[in-house]
Amino acid sequence: MLLECRNLAYRYPGGPYVFRGVSLSVASGEAVGLIGPSGCGKTTLGRILAGYAAAAEGTVLLDGKPIPPKGYHPVQMVFQHPQKAVNPRWRLRRTLAESRMPEAAELRRLGIDEAWLDRWPHELSAGELQRICIARALGPRTRFLIADEMTAMLDAITQARIWHAVLAIAKERAIGMLVITHDRALAEAVCDRVVTWDRLSIG
């Protein structure tokens, strides 16, 4: 399976283009790192791929076909700040149910204590809540994962543990990953290949 975008462009209504001419592909089971300066449009690209935003130009294709606008999106995204990605009025069990609850063994691999599921988001630390967001994104119907500075707010030990688990699950399930980061060392450590934003966008 192949996720690809062709000649994507994005602009705010009535404003200039944020980027133009962006083309990129990620294959099943492949981890691709994307490095670029702040404000260049990396997160916006991820949002377009995951169906959160619409491109002004270009196409997003899954195995050569447009992704259906309805139903569970096969491309899921994990954002940098988990507190902004969950409903504060839902207990975490309901949050996970959005994508169908992952297997208990998978939750354990991600370091999730099942007791957390009956808590509210504010009762967890940032690292614990991010693990919940990752588990939700890795639902059984997910085919591609966009990791946008997914562990940037965490300490080095927690980062390493989370990446170890996520990469193992992605390889086992042939989930393709786009890893958006400022950290070249991280990208080179966890990804099969790394691309830089200046090679994607014509401005």
Q: How far apart are CA 104 and CA 118, in angstroms?
A: 15
Whole-number pLDDT of residue 64? 92
**Measured between alpha carbons, how far is 102 from 65 in angstroms, rounded to an integer?**
27
Mean local confidence (pLDDT), 60-83? 92
Over residues 39-50, mean pLDDT: 93
Confidence check: pLDDT of 201 > 70: no
The identity of residue 72, as a single letter, is Y
User: What is the residue whose two structure tokens read 């995204």?
Assistant: 77
Tokens 């393709």 found at: 176
**Average pLDDT taken over every residue of the chain:** 92
* Domain definitions of the chain by residue range: 2-199
Q: What is the pLDDT of residue 95?
A: 92
Q: Tens digit of pLDDT for each residue in 182-196?
A: 889 999 999 999 999
CATH ID of 2-199, from 3.30.2350.10, 3.40.50.1000, 3.50.50.60, 3.40.50.300: 3.40.50.300
Q: Tokens 């390493």 sit at which residue?
A: 160
Tens of pLDDT, residues 87-104: 999 999 999 988 887 778
What would the pLDDT profile of 12-34 be if each residue is shown by its tens digit? 888 899 999 999 999 999 999 99
Q: Kindly report which listed range (4-8, 116-120, 132-136, 197-201) carries the lowest average pLDDT score.
A: 197-201
Cβ atoms of 75 and 146 closer than 8 Å: yes
Cβ-based neighbour number of residue 137 at 10 Å: 24
Mean pLDDT of 135-147: 94
- Of 11, 21, 17, 22, residue with least CA distance to 178: 22
Q: Where is average pLDDT lowest: 43-57, 109-123, 147-161?
A: 147-161
Mean pLDDT of 62-83: 91
Give the SS3 label for residue 172.
helix
